[in-house]
Amino acid sequence: MFGGSFDPVHRGHLAVAHQAVLQLALDQVLFVPARVQPLKTQGPSAGPEHRVAMLRAAIDGESAFVVDLRELARPAPSYTVDTLRELKLERPRDQLFLILGADAAWDLPRWHEASDVERLATLAVVRRPGAPVPPLPASTVTLALEPVDVSATAVRDATERGEVIDQLVPKAVAEYIAVHRLYR
Ligand code: ATP
């Protein structure tokens, strides 16, 4: 499971998901866009339909990647623990991993029912520029990946300034943002 705002999905997310498949031998990566992330001070800037459309465009042709809409179907806030419980019921024999950037991992102790999150899924943490990896349960795996210096905030800010964002997001996402005049 790879949850987030994906506002928008960017090259950092995709690099992380690819490495997770390779290093953890995953069958699937579920990209789970949140309705509202409980610990973010601001809600998403783009509506759920745009965030989903950009995710779909970004993962087109990637057979191991799936967009999972369950958190958008539930009322906010979007608690990861609820999603993991549902996934465990649906796939009782699967081993679940929760993919997290190091910045998000620092917040984990404050998550709703954090101890159940850690019980339901193996944490797979990724280093991120400016965010050291926090102390985590012994079962945590750390993905070996050169930190990718891209954030959705940087994409939104660059778009607002009228800059080219091709280095930050896949081509299809850059085109979608331009056509729909997002983040302006
Ligand atoms: P924002 O800048 O709006 O806060 P973001 O770039 O952190 O957004 P999210 O959709 O909030 O993107 O992130 C979802 C998950 O992906 C989080 O666990 C986050 O830590 C992780 N993530 C995002 N970008 C990167 C990156 N460049 N490297 C590693 N992990 C990342």
Tokens of 175: 């085109």
Q: How far is CA 109 from CA 105, 129, 130, in A?
A: 8, 21, 19
Shortest-distance Cα residue to atom 8 of ligand 1: 152
pLDDT digits (tens, 9 = 90+) for 160-173: 999 999 999 999 99
Best residue among 30, 103, 153 to mutate for probing ligand 1's pocket (most ligand atoms within 8 Å of CB) is 103
Q: Does domain 2-179 have CATH number 3.40.30.10?
A: no
Residue 12 Cα: closest atom of ligand 1:
27
Atom of ligand 1 nearest to the CA of 127: 29
| Residue 40: pLDDT over 90 | no
Provide the mean pLDDT of the chain.
Answer: 95
Nearest to 8 by CA among 51, 65, 56: 51
Residue 4 Cα to ligand 1 midpoint, Å, equals 7
- Provide the token pair at 102: 């190091």
Query: Can you tell me the mean pLDDT for 133-140?
Result: 92
Rounded to whole angstroms, the Cα distance separating 1 from 126 reads: 14
